Amino acid sequence: MTLINMAAMGSSVSEIDDRARRMRIAHATAREIVQPAGSRIGPRHQHEIHLILIHSGSIELTVDAQPPRHVPAGQLCLLLPGHTNEIVVDRAADTRQTLIRGRLENVTEQMRGWLESLRPTRPLSSALTYLAREAVVTEQTRLTADGALLDALATALLWRFVAEFRNLPAALPAPIEAARLYIHTHVADPITLDDIARAASVTPAHLIRLFRTHMNTTPVRYLWDRRISLGVELLTSTGLPVGSVAARCGFKTSFHFARKVRDVTGLPPSALRESHWRA
């Protein structure tokens, strides 16, 4: 990926026209992978677009004849078709990542040139992490609508990547983005306000003030809202047992999960599921 002056390229995509908006990822797949420490992938010629989210560990990425680029945890890596890539995994630890891949279609010459000009990595935002997670869950539960939903989520992930580059700096303060990213990544874990604030590198009191100012909520309320939303989604789109859904969403008991679902929807989990399946 040849790096081009971003200021010169920025104006060329300041307005995305109707043709450029047709860019999409087709025949997408999404999966979580653990790459063994010290493993090597490639060199290989890239035929598809790959979006790689690094959750733990790190990789060394070489694109064509450019110097290797270190990609640590908390970064998304964009690999475009038409290049030769080599990935070397951290020798000290396994690397956990999410891989979204597919065929890049309907790319205008202008948009292709702009994508080629980008730095191929950027910090993971909560939105990027959320979209990738949804794509993985969609494939795991086979709720793909014959691939259409998975393609839409992969395409949304790519467009989010584009939007974040075009609209820097981010609208939300960095501690909020870091907190949301931590929450989305650890939604099933027994995390606390102190854990979230530590991930955001601020005090709990300061994080609460930031969330109230910019999002009209608190970090803990945001965590529970995310858990409930994910739970409702899994209830209405999968056949997973209620206990399994509760565990995946960070609830210690099915009773607590059922009470929260009823508070939000007015229905217990089983009735909520039946109402959607009858629709």
Q: What is the pLDDT at residue 10? A: 43
Quick one: 127 and 182 in the same domain? no
pTM for this entry: 0.66
Task: Say if residue 162 is in the same domain as residue 190.
Answer: no
pLDDT number for residue 11 = 40
CA distance 169 to 144: 34
Amino acid 144: pLDDT: 72
Asked whether residue 197 falls in the same domain as residue 144, the answer is: no
152 and 180 belong to one structural domain = no
Q: For residue 57, is it within any domain?
A: yes
Mean pLDDT along residues 22-29: 94
Residues 127 and 241 in one domain: no
Residue 127 domain flag? yes
Reduce the secondary structure of the chain to three states and give it as a string: CCCCCHHHHHHHHCCCCCCHHHCEEEEEEEEEEEECCCCEEEEEECCCEEEEEEEECEEEEEECCCCCEEEECCEEEEECCCCEEEEEECCCCCEEEEEEEEEEECCCHHHHHHHHHCCCEEECCHHHHHHHHHHHHHHHCCCCCCCHHHHHHHHHHHHHHHHHHHCCCCCCCHHHHHHHHHHHHCCCCCCCHHHHHHHHCCCHHHHHHHHHHHHCCCHHHHHHHHHHHHHHHHHHHCCCCHHHHHHHCCCCCHHHHHHHHHHHHCCCHHHHHHHHHHC
131-163 pLDDT, tens per residue?
Answer: 898 899 888 877 777 888 899 999 999 999 888
Predicted confidence band at 5 (pLDDT cuts at 50, 70, 90)?
Answer: very low
Mean pLDDT of 236-260: 90
Residue 29 confidence (pLDDT) above 90:
yes
Instruction: Tally Cβ neighbours within 10 Å of residue 31.
Output: 13
Residue 30 domain-assigned? yes
pLDDT at 94 over 80: yes
What distance in Å separates the CA atoms of residue 66 and residue 74, rounded to the nearest whole number? 22
Average pLDDT over residues 255-278: 87
Judge whether 1 lies within some domain. no
Domain limit, last residue, from 140, 166, 192: 166
In this structure, what CATH number is given to the domain that contains residue 221?
1.10.10.60
Between CA 160 and CA 48 the distance in angstroms is 18
pLDDT tens per residue across span 51-71: 999 999 999 999 998 889 899
CATH code, 145: 2.60.120.280
Same domain, 45 and 90: yes
Q: Are residues 25 and 68 in the same domain?
A: yes
One domain, residues 125 and 197: no
Q: CB of 28 within 8 A of CB of 134?
A: no
Could you tell me if 26 and 121 lie in one domain? yes
In this structure, are 85 and 213 located in the same domain? no
The mean pLDDT of the chain is: 86
Final residue belonging to a domain, choices 166, 200, 217: 166
What backbone phi and psi angles, to 5 degrees, belong to 24?
-150, 165
Q: Pick from 114, 148, 166: which residue ends a domain?
A: 166
Cα distance between residue 272 and residue 91, in whole Å: 48
Average pLDDT over residues 223-233: 88
User: Are residues 156 and 231 part of one domain?
Assistant: no
Q: How many domains is the chain partitioned into structurally? A: 2
- Could you report the per-residue pLDDT of 168-197, keeping only the tens digit for each? 545 678 899 889 888 988 888 999 999 999
pLDDT at site 8:
38
Range of the domain at 125: 6-166
For residue 53, tell me if it sits in a domain. yes
Within this chain, do residues 161 and 189 fall inside the same structural domain, yes or no?
A: no
